[in-house]
Structure 1
Amino acid sequence: MELETERLKVIPCTEETVEIAINQKYDSGPQISTHLKKLNEDPSLLYWGPWFVVRKSDGSILGDIGFKGKPDKNRVVEAGYGFLESYWGNGYATEAMEVLIQWAFKTSKVDRVIAETLQDNYGSIRVLQKLGMKKISSTETMIHWEIGNSD
């Protein structure tokens, strides 16, 4: 399964899709290898981990987005994302996260999506605001956000 927007394909992270990232020399960070190990132990984690964001026009991986595990007993899932700096400011994060959050709500397993960002990460704050997420709390360093299925 993959999700699509006008400009992007969003594909779940698997052993096969990691090969695409390796071939593009995309530095996916430790969350990808950790997810793959957990996925081997529990295949039901497939869509509840990282997804690669691929630009349709040229097949380039722009970043990765996803969830930090399956929804909890309260039907809440935490989302996160990271994009290569050269692609910042083009709306890709908002576009990709929007389709992923919509998918999560359509699964009927999620009532709320939460996220967090650093107080001074203005680009990320703007993405979360554009997604319709609401600030629910903050600390000296972090802001915590959420969006509900009915928002």
Structure 2
Amino acid sequence: MMRVRSSRLSLVPLTASLIRLFLYNRSELARVLDAKVPTDWPGPDFEPILPLLLDGFEREPGHEAWDGAIMLEGEERVLIGAMGLKGGPDEEGTVDIGYNILPAYQNQGYATEMARALIAWAFERSDIYKVIADCLYDNQGSIRVLEKLGMKRLVPDGDMLRWSLTKEEWQVAQQ
């Protein structure tokens, strides 16, 4: 199970029971997480994904959760967003990182900090060799995060910018 922490943040892997609490009993979700759950979480980008994740958990109850984890800010104990590695590694050892941060917590370095910790965790695994990401051309926040992580911009795919970082590039940058 994914256990990732940074100096200010922690990731709590989503489970079927946490998703059900979000859908049906938000106050109980806050109690179980021992955290504040803002009314605007998960936001329009991540909310449609939750039922899909729940369906996946119900079809495969024992599968490892890669797709989503709740991001908690440690000092205030507040849910500020979500981050994950969409679907886990493919046959070539590539994972696709995705994240969202609630507007009130953007531009404070949270996405960069947690993505850096998640990438470090991923590259400690023997089955992951590359992290990729996509973002829209006009998503300046994500572009800055991906650049700070040392990801390389690839050839765009339609209306999406594509990014890549290999384990070797990561290790060299960490020296």
- Within the alignment, does 1:123 sit opposite 2:124 as a pair? no
Matched, 1:4 2:23: no
- C-alpha distance in 1, partners of 2:88/2:4? 18
Give the aligned partner of residue 44 of structure 1.
63
Q: CA deviation at 1:139?
A: 4.3
Q: Percent identity?
A: 33
**d(CA) in 2 for partners of 1:32, 1:108:** 28
Q: Secondary structure at the match of 1:44?
A: coil
Pairs within 5 Å for 1:74-93: 74-93=92-111
Q: Between Structure 1 and Structure 2, which shows a larger proportion of strand residues?
A: 1
Name the count of aligned residue pairs: 150
Select 2:89's aligned residue among 71, 82, 98. 71
Structure of larger gyration radius: 2
1:138 and 2:163 are equivalent in the alignment: no
Quick one: distance in 1 between partners of 2:149 and 2:142?
11
- Cα distance in structure 2, aligned partners of 1:69 and 1:102: 18
Under a length normalisation based on structure 2, what TM-score does the superposition of the two structures give?
Answer: 0.78
Q: Does 2:126 match 1:108?
A: yes
Gaps of 5+ in 2: 28-36, 170-175
**Alpha-carbon deviation of 1:13?**
0.7
> What's the RMSD between the two structures over aligned residues?
1.8
In the alignment, the residues of structure 2 paired with residue 61 and residue 112 of structure 1 have an alpha-carbon distance, to the nearest angstrom, of 28
Contact 2:11 2:69 in 1 (8 A): yes
What SS does the corresponding residue of 1:82 show, helix, strand or coil? strand
SS in 1 for 2:168: coil
**What per-residue deviation string (whole Å, max 9, x for no partner) do you get for residues 20-76 of structure 1?**
793323235121221122023222232x11011100011101100112102111111
Aligned equivalents of 1:15, 1:108: Cα separation in 2: 27
Residue 43 (structure 2) pairs with residue 33 (structure 1) = no
137-146 or 21-30, larger mean C-alpha shift: 21-30
Gaps of 5+ in 1: none
SS of residue matched to 1:138: coil
Q: Which residue of 2 aligns with 1:95?
A: 113
